[in-house]
């Protein structure tokens, strides 16, 4: 019996569908760079070690905030392709609950067709950015459980 495939969040599904409509690799990169232009500038004060994505060739920073049970990410990169990947992920994941973010796997990148066009270091960077975003979200759950534990003492 095969495991049921969980549907992707609507924003991420919409992004993937748009990528699937683009047949030329060059145009996929142009669309990726469109996401780079849409990334709101992360304040310089947030470009600190605790927000730096490890394992990326470029300088990539991600922050996460939790508002009314929904996650909001911000990010920045010093290079356009990683910035596009950050933008894609921010648009695809913002507004989800922590559980929804943590249940995702990065294999959705294959559905975009970008994985065949990205260099190995960029593919690795995508994976590192995605996992770092999940790490940031997991910290919210740890903080919540610590608060609950203190209340129960």
What is the mean pLDDT, run by run of 10 residues, along the chain of 153 residues?
Answer: 67 95 92 94 93 93 95 96 96 96 93 86 92 94 53 49
Q: Which fold has domain 10-152?
A: Sufe protein. Chain: A (3.90.1010)
8 A C-beta contact, residue 134 and residue 102: yes
User: Which two structure tokens, joined as six digits, stand for 48?
Assistant: 């600190």
Backbone φ and ψ of 74, nearest 5°: -135, 155
- pLDDT score for 147: 44
Residue 149 C-beta-side C-alpha neighbours within 13 Å: 6
Is the entire prediction scored with pTM above 0.85?
Answer: yes
- pLDDT score for 150: 47
- pLDDT score for 135: 96
Rounded distance, CA 87 to CA 19, Å? 14
User: Which two structure tokens, joined as six digits, stand for 29?
Assistant: 């990169």
Catalytic residue numbers? 56
pLDDT per residue over 17-59, tens digit each?
999 999 998 999 999 999 999 998 899 999 999 999 999 889 9
Rounded distance, CA 81 to CA 122, Å? 8
- pLDDT score for 153: 52
């Amino acid at each position: 019996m095969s495991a049921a495939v969980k549907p992707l969040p609507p924003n991420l599904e919409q992004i993937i569908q748009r990528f699937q409509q683009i047949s030329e690799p060059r145009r996929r990169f142009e669309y990726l760079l469109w996401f780079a232009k849409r990334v709101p500038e992360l304040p310089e004060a947030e470009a600190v070690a605790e927000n730096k994505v490890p394992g990326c060739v470029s300088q990539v920073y991600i922050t996460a905030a939790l508002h009314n049970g929904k996650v909001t990410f911000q990010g920045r990169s010093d290079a356009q392709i990683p910035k596009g990947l950050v933008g894609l992920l921010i648009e695809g994941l913002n507004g989800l609950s922590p559980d929804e973010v943590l249940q995702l796997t990065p294999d959705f990148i294959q559905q975009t067709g970008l994985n065949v066009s990205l260099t190995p270091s960029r593919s690795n960077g995508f994976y590192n950015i995605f996992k770092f975003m999940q790490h940031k979200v997991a910290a919210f759950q740890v903080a919540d459980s610590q608060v609950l534990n203190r209340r129960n003492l």
